[in-house]
Structure 1
């Protein structure tokens, strides 16, 4: 499947917003998930997304959170630290007339320390050049943000082999592109 991230536009690939556009722009912190990867991810969780509460820890373009809502997630919380990216995301949500998304301009690591909500599905797709993935995994585990049997999506460089996954996160599905690994883990605390 061709990646539809062209000319600063990302297309929603399924659900009630299918075919609608998420406008974006070139920015060093933006690296939208490709359509092929998005399609695979959402095929994996298709039976879990309906009525789910989702958290997108590094929302960037908002593609994963918005795609979740389009596929009938109950609610999505999107975290973004960069003001320009946040403003663009806010404008996209407004243009798409989505009411069940909360966009928060914040540092994800700081926010996770004070968050009290639990989520069914959590997306972790941080900027690769920043070393925040391991810290985020640690905080998610420590703060118990994931509902029992919830799912955690992790996108990472294949070359980054030092990421430690908590023992109670069981690998559910995993795939690779030439440079990126992407996987879904299920929280399995008894």
Structure 2
């Protein structure tokens, strides 16, 4: 998850990195990341803070990882006893790497879907709503507003769902649905990360 850099079109070389699972079932495992269109995973420091925030809510939760990218957040949630995790990723190369990592971990409680997040959310919602949603879209592309609207209007969320949003620091938080209350907030460099609780 996390696509914060704009791709450099002159950069032809294919680079790969790794994400590290911090805790849980697969603690310490490193998973390769395909560097598709400037993917940059959520940093370990931010991820550790986020999962400390979620520590009591994550076990047995149904999680939705939108704009999954590297899968850093989705795999971490699955490692920490989430009941089920759905990852949505549009880029075919990033998707292929996510599926390879799923096979490496033998992670049967993960579903990986190739789709544009906004098109996916406009479809029929799942039989069961999600308890925790991770949203870390490419920055400065105007993706957050529509994504949040579709989530709220489409019955994707449990009535007390937790929604994590990672955005550029200047993103106007005023676009949050009225029923979402800010629970936690921190800034790391040019990135602001927030956890909201839905009170439907």
Question: What TM-score, normalized by structure 2, do the two folds share?
Answer: 0.88
Question: 1:41-69 deviations in whole A, cap 9, x for unaligned?
Answer: 00001000000000001100001010001
Residues 1:170 and 2:189 aligned together: no
Q: For 1:132-151, what aligned pairs fall within 5 Å after superposition?
A: 132-151=143-162
Following superposition, the deviation at residue 116 of structure 1 comes to 1.9
Following superposition, the deviation at residue 25 of structure 1 comes to 2.9
Q: Select the structure with the greater relative contact order (CA < 8 A; seq sep ≥ 6).
A: 2
Following superposition, the deviation at residue 159 of structure 1 comes to 2.0
Q: For 1:124-139, what aligned pairs fall within 5 Å after superposition?
A: 124-139=135-150
Residues 1:104 and 2:104 aligned together: no
For residue 159 of structure 1, the aligned residue among 133, 152, 170 is 170
User: What CA distance in whole angstroms lies between the structure 2 residues aligned with 1:144 and 1:53?
Assistant: 14
Residues 48-57 or 107-116, more deviating: 107-116
Aligned pairs, how many? Answer: 184
For residue 29 of structure 2, the aligned residue among 20, 45, 50 is 20
CA spacing shift, 1:163–1:83, aligned 2, 3 Å = farther
User: What CA distance in whole angstroms lies between the structure 2 residues aligned with 1:86 and 1:103?
Assistant: 8
User: What CA distance in whole angstroms lies between the structure 1 residues aligned with 2:43 and 2:90?
Assistant: 22
User: What CA distance in whole angstroms lies between the structure 2 residues aligned with 1:137 and 1:29?
Assistant: 23
User: What CA distance in whole angstroms lies between the structure 2 residues aligned with 1:171 and 1:63?
Assistant: 23
User: What CA distance in whole angstroms lies between the structure 1 residues aligned with 2:184 and 2:114?
Assistant: 31
Residues 1:65 and 2:49 aligned together: no
Residues 158-167 or 135-144, more deviating: 158-167
Secondary structure (helix, strand or coil) at the match of 1:33 reads: coil
CA spacing shift, 1:136–1:82, aligned 2, 3 Å = same
Contact 1:171 1:185 in 2 (8 A): yes
Question: 1:166-187 deviations in whole A, cap 9, x for unaligned?
Answer: 1100000000011011010001
User: What CA distance in whole angstroms lies between the structure 1 residues aligned with 2:83 and 2:139?
Assistant: 29
Contact 1:81 1:108 in 2 (8 A): yes
Structure 2 gap segments, 5+ residues each:
1-15
Following superposition, the deviation at residue 162 of structure 1 comes to 6.1
Question: What TM-score, normalized by structure 1, do the two folds share?
Answer: 0.93
